[in-house]
Chain A
């Protein structure tokens, strides 16, 4: 269970990104989580509100997207190969290496003007309903 430390890193990263957008706060952050990243999206979804508590990311929503694994061939360079393959369909080599599937990346950030927040008041203060891990953690 290292997702809490990952969540703390995530809060740190998003806070740094927000520094580039004065007058904005974050609404939703999207994170790509590779199936072989070593990170459980459900545990990350559970940990993120705990890490964000008391920071400028308090009440920010986290959406995770699963990234399926694929291999590339280190002999001929073929890419996006099905991870179930035991050899390269192009050249026959077994020297395959993971190409996608280890991602742990922030892919998008929703910015909300601080002014809009005052108008809309759409972020109720009583929100502590951490998003259901089953809902967010589903791997495709």
Chain B
């Protein structure tokens, strides 16, 4: 018997499609975001708050991922922004293949493509979807130690949105401590505390995304 040394990525199939997708989107000047966060962290609500601001200047489109229903797609379409829905039927994450298949004609002529992943802070981390930037969304109601409990997500990104900050007075969690905990996982993070309900912090986050588009 013999041993052979290898350096072969287990998810090479996914990664190949992700690279193809990234090249295709970049070729069209489209910036792609992959939004990950727990179920109920406020990912769609954040998009509802941010996208109308960005849509004034940029052509935006959204791929929604959920286990079931097209509710989130309909919420985005209601804003006048094109969206497609991936219903995974049980799978806990999107794959590059599922995104490529769902995209269809959507990617043509977009400045910004947002992929809202299935609500999950573990499985989604392993899959490259061809994005330029990954954004982790975490709500203050999930507890200030969430970054310490799920560090893989927080070290896989440069950007975190801490949502539902208007709930801070009603939950036993402080935004300041959650921010500190996230930075202790990953000191390189840009963190945006915000409330889609009151609008506080939404403008700064939208401008940050706009900056990514300006630097294409």
CB proximity to B under 8 Å, residues A94-140: 94-98, 101-102, 104-113, 116
Q: Interface majority SS on B: helix, strand, loop or mixed?
A: mixed
In the complex, which range does the number of interface residues on chain B fall in?
20 to 34
Q: Is B214 an interface residue (CB 8 A)?
A: no
Q: Is B170 an interface residue (CB 8 A)?
A: no
Q: Which residues of A contact B156 (CB under 8 A)?
A: 36, 38, 98, 102
Q: Which residues of B contact A87 (CB under 8 A)?
A: 187
Docked pose: A12 CA to B91 CA in angstroms: 19
Interchain nearest-CB distance for B85 vs A (Å) = 20
Across the interface, B188 reaches (CB within 8 A) one of A12, A37, A96, A101, namely: A96
Which of B10-18, B61-69, B202-210 contacts the other chain? Answer: B10-18
> A116–B1 contact, CB under 8 A?
yes
Docked pose: A13 CA to B9 CA in angstroms: 8
Docked pose: A13 CA to B15 CA in angstroms: 13
Q: Is A39 an interface residue (CB 8 A)?
A: yes
Closest residue on chain B to residue A29 by CB atoms: B6
Across the interface, A9 reaches (CB within 8 A) one of B11, B93, B158, B187, namely: B11
User: Across chains A and B, which 5 residue pairs bring their CB atoms closest together, nearest first?
Assistant: A38-B125, A2-B123, A38-B126, A36-B152, A94-B187
Q: A86-B187, A105-B8, A110-B1 are in contact. List 16 more A-B contacts (CB 8 A).
A: A2-B122, A5-B91, A6-B11, A9-B14, A12-B13, A13-B9, A13-B13, A17-B8, A31-B10, A38-B152, A38-B153, A94-B188, A96-B187, A106-B9, A110-B3, A116-B1
